[in-house]
Amino acid sequence: ETGVTQTPRHLVMGMTNKKSLKCEQHLGHNAMYWYKQSAKKPLELMFVYNFKEQTENNSVPSRFSPECPNSSHLFLHLHTLQPEDSALYLCASSPSLAGARDEQFFGPGTRLTVL
Amino acid sequence: AQSVTQLGSHVSVSEGALVLLRCNYSSSVPPYLFWYVQYPNQGLQLLLKYTTGATLVKGINGFEAEFKKSETSFHLTKPSAHMSDAAEYFCAVSARSSNTGKLIFGQGTTLQVKP
């Protein structure tokens, strides 16, 4: 595998379910990000991790719980979601937070539908 | 605070015609500037970026963009559209002094290419 991978690619869940999204980067990067992409809205940054430490929580509801066990893996644990949480969830990575000129590398996303 | 505005949420061109996607930023200090493309059911992919030096930047797939400080713009162009260019395009900025990894995205422009 190369680049940034995300699993699953599609997920349908009920409001009472608990599920997790997984992201893995094979680029040797130290910073990882979760974004939410909803229809007709700009990308929303949710969380930022740098060297496994969370550096940004952009006022995300507690029903979204991130986990970063190491610099290569990032999880987003989901529980008691609402239908308005249905969106494409994108993971990204970059060499570090200090490199403002560095691009972020994105995974293909997980299309989440909450029923 | 920085912001990015993409004029036109939807642009339609004929195959072979010029593509022009507009991006303006608001920042007291010129930021780093990026254009990303998102094909259906995929993540974002970097097309090009401006960090320093020559203000005309060439990217992948024949795209280029010009940084104009006086106009606070970074418009994306391609001389001749191809059907495969149909996608969503995002302009993004990063503050030069940033150590947060934050990218500020525009709302995106959907490019339709007609045969």
Contacts of B45 in chain A (CB under 8 A): 106
Confidence of residue A2 (pLDDT cuts 50, 70, 90): confident
State yes or no: pLDDT of A32 exceeds 70: yes
A100/B49 Cβ within 8 A: no
Q: What average pLDDT score do residues A76-95 get?
A: 95
pLDDT of B30: 84
- Per-residue CA distances from B15 to A37, B64, B85 (Å): 29, 18, 9
Phi/psi of residue A18, nearest 5 degrees: -120, 130
B107/A103 Cβ within 8 A: no
Does an H or E element contain B65, and which?
strand B64-68
- Per-residue CA distances from A53 to A48, A69, B69 (Å): 8, 9, 36
Distance, CA of A99 to CA of B32 (rounded, Å): 11
Q: What average pLDDT score do residues A3-9 get?
A: 96
Confidence of residue A1 (pLDDT cuts 50, 70, 90): low
The CA R_g of chain B, rounded to the nearest whole Å, is: 14
Q: What average pLDDT score do residues A49-64 get?
A: 92
Amino acid at A35: Y
**Per-residue pLDDT tens over the stretch B47-70:** 999 998 899 999 999 999 999 999
B100/A48 Cβ within 8 A: yes
Give the Cβ contact number of residue B36 at 10 Å: 25
Contacts of A103 in chain B (CB under 8 A): 34, 46, 49
Distance, CA of B89 to CA of B63 (rounded, Å): 12
**Per-residue pLDDT tens over the stretch B14-57:** 999 999 999 999 988 888 999 999 998 889 999 999 998 899 99
Mean pLDDT of chain A: 93
pLDDT of B96: 80
Q: What average pLDDT score do residues A48-58 get?
A: 91
pLDDT of B61: 94
Q: What average pLDDT score do residues A3-13 get?
A: 96
**Per-residue pLDDT tens over the stretch B67-114:** 999 999 999 999 999 999 999 999 999 888 777 878 999 999 999 999
Angle at A61 between CA A58 and CA A67, to 5 degrees: 75
DSSP secondary structure of A89-114: EEEEEES-SS-TTPPPEE---EEEEE
Structure letter (DSSP) for residue B100: S
Contacts of B98 in chain A (CB under 8 A): 100
Distance, CA of B55 to CA of B70 (rounded, Å): 12
Q: What average pLDDT score do residues A23-27 get?
A: 96
Taking a C-beta distance cutoff of 8 angstroms, is the pair B18, B80 a contact?
yes
Mean pLDDT of chain B: 93
Distance, CA of B104 to CA of B98 (rounded, Å): 12
Residue in chain A closest to B41 (alpha carbons) equals A108
**Which of B102, B104, B107 to substitute to test the interface with A, most A CBs within 10 Å?**
B102
Residue whose tokens read 């090009």: B48
Confidence of residue A97 (pLDDT cuts 50, 70, 90): confident
pLDDT of B27: 84
